[in-house]
């Protein structure tokens, strides 16, 4: 319990809350991603500038390693609202999908999820997308807080598949999707440029014109790394990762103006009074013998390096005790990593793979979609 919240201090807290509320609104104007409004299917707003040649053009890819849990019943919305970092009442204002995290009471990330509204009448039905490898933990977490809430929880991972669609064409080319979706397609709000994220029955493929070509699903991870979008337990260490260090604020996954939810205390306090000194960002691994660090993040599919396992320590060379970060998802020569922001410009960061058999240099890159003010903070 924080000293603010001792009963005798509650008066002060209540009066401060209004102040913080206004402060939150001021901050919201410079923080991106609080707006989770959906696109209507005819907007060309999923135009993407891809720097990677394989990803240029119109493509779709099946999102791997994601599972789905269905929640149905009249208490669904109220039940979820107490558990998630985002505001579920946005569903009533026309948003059909949003990004959010589930935290534990210590404010650590447990699950990164998308919540899809399937049906609103007569009783709400939602699908919650979560890392497939921790679906049992996820349903247990929900059941722990269920008590007498009228909510039925079902694992429906095998019934649906999640697809990611992007391209430079007008979205009217994707109008064929309408028949297979609950309520159209959704722009992935986490960063501008991820494209559409859609959910369709497992036996179907996205109904798209021939301009769109399918890529192998490993391209999803590569594209995610290039864009700097963390996802799943490789990037968010369950019960360890902090929501702000995990970019949930940048990716529009936290509503700082909603009421109480599990883990709110630490998140809210860190947002308003603390400084986030580490964040998840893309890194490029390059040979230890190289003389020049790469200047631009790019994937080289010819490189089949022995990749470091998730959570491996990144540290300045020769100073293995001074951990500067931890690696997350890794593909070929690129990876996501949680890195101390003051170490971003340090040239001697290294990571080991397979014990100490392989060593790579690590070059971090700040994603272009990050808010500018935070970049300035980093410079100081």
Partner 1 sequence: MGIKTPLINSFWLTRSFATTVVNNPPKDGQGNEMKIEITDRAVKQLLSLMARDKHDNEALRITVDSGGCHGFQYFYDLTPVNALKEDDVLFENNGAKVVIDSLSLGLIKGSKIDYTEELIGSQFKVVDNPQAATGCG
Binding site for partner 1 (CB under 8 A): 1-2, 5, 7-8, 10-11, 79, 82-83, 105-106, 144-149, 260-265
Q: 304 near 378, Cβ under 8 Å?
A: no
Report, in Å, the least distance between residue 105 CB and partner 1. 5
Report, in Å, the least distance between residue 267 CB and partner 1. 10
Cβ distance to partner 1 smaller for residue 225 or 242 = 242
Cβ distance to partner 1 smaller for residue 97 or 151 = 151
Cβ distance to partner 1 smaller for residue 64 or 82 = 82
Report, in Å, the least distance between residue 110 CB and partner 1. 12
Cβ distance to partner 1 smaller for residue 54 or 260 = 260
Cβ distance to partner 1 smaller for residue 87 or 231 = 87
Report, in Å, the least distance between residue 87 CB and partner 1. 15
Report, in Å, the least distance between residue 269 CB and partner 1. 11
């Amino acid at each position: 319990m924080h000293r603010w919240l001792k009963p005798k201090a509650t008066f002060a807290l209540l009066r401060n809350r209004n102040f913080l509320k206004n402060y939150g609104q001021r901050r919201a104007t410079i923080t991106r991603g609080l707006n989770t409004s959906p696109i209507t299917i005819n907007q060309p707003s999923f135009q993407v500038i891809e720097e990677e040649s394989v990803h240029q053009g119109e493509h779709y890819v099946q999102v791997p390693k994601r599972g789905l849990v269905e929640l149905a019943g009249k208490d669904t919305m109220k039940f979820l609202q107490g558990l998630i970092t985002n505001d579920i009442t946005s569903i009533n204002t026309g948003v059909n999908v949003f990004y959010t995290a589930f935290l534990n009471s210590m404010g650590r990330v447990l699950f990164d999820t998308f919540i899809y509204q399937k049906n609103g009448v007569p009783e709400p039905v939602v699908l919650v997308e979560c890392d497939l490898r921790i679906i049992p933990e996820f349903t247990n977490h929900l059941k722990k807080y269920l008590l007498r809430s009228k909510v039925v929880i079902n694992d429906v991972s095998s019934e649906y598949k999640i697809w990611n669609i992007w391209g430079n064409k007008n979205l009217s080319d994707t109008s064929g999707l309408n028949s297979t979706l609950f309520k159209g397609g959704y722009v992935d709000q986490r960063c501008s440029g991820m494209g559409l994220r859609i959910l369709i029955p497992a036996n179907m493929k996205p109904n798209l014109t021939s301009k769109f070509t399918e890529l192998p699903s490993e391209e999803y991870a590569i594209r995610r790394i290039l864009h700097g979008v963390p996802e799943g337990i490789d990037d968010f260490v369950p019960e360890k990762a902090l929501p702000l260090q995990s970019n949930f604020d940048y990716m529009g996954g936290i509503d700082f103006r909603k009421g109480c939810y599990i883990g709110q205390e630490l998140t809210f306090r860190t947002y308003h009074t603390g400084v986030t000194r580490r964040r998840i960002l893309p890194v490029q691994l390059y040979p230890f013998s190289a003389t020049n660090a790469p200047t631009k993040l790019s994937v080289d599919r010819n490189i089949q390096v022995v990749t470091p396992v998730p959570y491996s320590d990144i540290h300045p060379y020769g100073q293995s005790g001074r951990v500067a970060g931890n690696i997350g998802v890794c593909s070929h020569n690129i990876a996501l990593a949680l890195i101390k922001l003051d170490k971003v410009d340090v040239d001697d960061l290294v990571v080991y793979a397979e014990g100490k058999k392989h060593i790579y240099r690590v070059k971090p890159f700040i994603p272009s979609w990050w808010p500018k003010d935070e970049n300035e903070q980093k410079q100081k």
